[in-house]
């Protein structure tokens, strides 16, 4: 999985369970993580914690 920050302010990717965590990503910066196991992985923005997402690995 690769996330790309397409916003004009920094954002970060942080797993709720601490499985993965990026540094703060500036505009156009990327963060990649390879999921080794199936499951549902919730995450939030480390800079704006109300921004949340979920990855389902099947």
Minimum gap (Å) between residue 11 Cβ and Cu ion: 3
DSSP string, 8-45: SS-B--EETTSS-B---B-TT-EEE----S-EEEEEE-
Is 3 one of the binding residues for Cu ion (CB under 5 A)?
A: no
Put the strands of the sheet holding 39-44 in their side by side order: 14-15, 39-44, 52-57
Is 48 one of the binding residues for Cu ion (CB under 5 A)?
A: yes
Is 13 one of the binding residues for Cu ion (CB under 5 A)?
A: no
Q: Which of 37/50 has CB closer to Cu ion? A: 50
Chosen residue from 1, 4, 47, 57 binding Cu ion by CB under 5 A: 47
């Amino acid at each position: 999985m690769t996330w790309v920050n397409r916003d004009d302010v920094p954002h970060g990717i942080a797993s709720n369970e601490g499985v993965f965590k990026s540094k703060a990503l500036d505009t156009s910066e990327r963060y990649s993580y390879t999921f080794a196991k199936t499951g549902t992985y919730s995450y939030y923005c480390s800079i704006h914690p109300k921004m949340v997402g979920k990855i389902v690995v099947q």
